[in-house]
């Protein structure tokens, strides 16, 4: 059974491409279009890693990450931020709330796969 990854991103096309690339590498991938749906899917599957867009239509990705880290059953799930935000302050805030890595969109799939495999020790 492959490692489970949850993508929380309201960019349907970008997330679909990411999902397909990850599935080709043997990951089990689920996808949520909103923060609310992301929490539901996280509780269903307890992913090994979460890819989280920091700009969601219904909630700040920073707030979502903070809420995940406050739930003991999910606090240990590594979160990689994916965002169009390129400012140093955003990267700093992300690291302060427990986001393990920060990748800018458009995603470099090779870099993303390398980081995921490194974080999951595979």
Domain count, the chain: 1
> CATH number for the domain including 87?
3.40.50.2300
Q: State phi, psi for 17 to the nearest 5 degrees.
A: -65, -45
What contacts 30, CB < 8 A, 6 or more positions away? 4, 5, 6, 7, 41, 44, 45, 47
Domain that holds residue 58: 4-119
Q: Are the CB atoms for 82 and 62 separated by under 8 Å?
A: no
pTM of the model: 0.95
Q: Contact, 65 vs 92, CB < 8 A?
A: no
pLDDT string in tens for the chain (122-residue length): 589 999 999 999 989 999 999 999 999 999 999 999 999 999 999 999 999 999 999 999 999 999 999 999 999 999 999 999 889 999 999 999 999 999 999 999 999 999 999 999 99
Q: How far apart are CA 89 and CA 122, in angstroms?
A: 31
């Amino acid at each position: 059974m492959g490692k489970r990854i949850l993508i929380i991103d309201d960019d349907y096309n970008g997330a679909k491409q990411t999902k397909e690339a990850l599935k080709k590498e043997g990951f089990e991938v689920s996808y949520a279009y909103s923060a609310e749906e992301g929490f539901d899917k996280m509780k269903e599957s307890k992913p090994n890693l979460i890819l989280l867009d920091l700009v969601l239509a219904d909630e700040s990705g920073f707030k979502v990450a903070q809420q995940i880290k406050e739930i003991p059953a999910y606090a240990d799930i590594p979160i990689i931020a994916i965002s169009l935000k390129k400012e140093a302050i955003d990267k700093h805030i992300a690291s302060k709330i427990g986001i393990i890595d920060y990748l800018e969109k458009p995603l470099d799939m090779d870099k993303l796969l390398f980081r995921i495999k490194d974080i999951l020790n595979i």
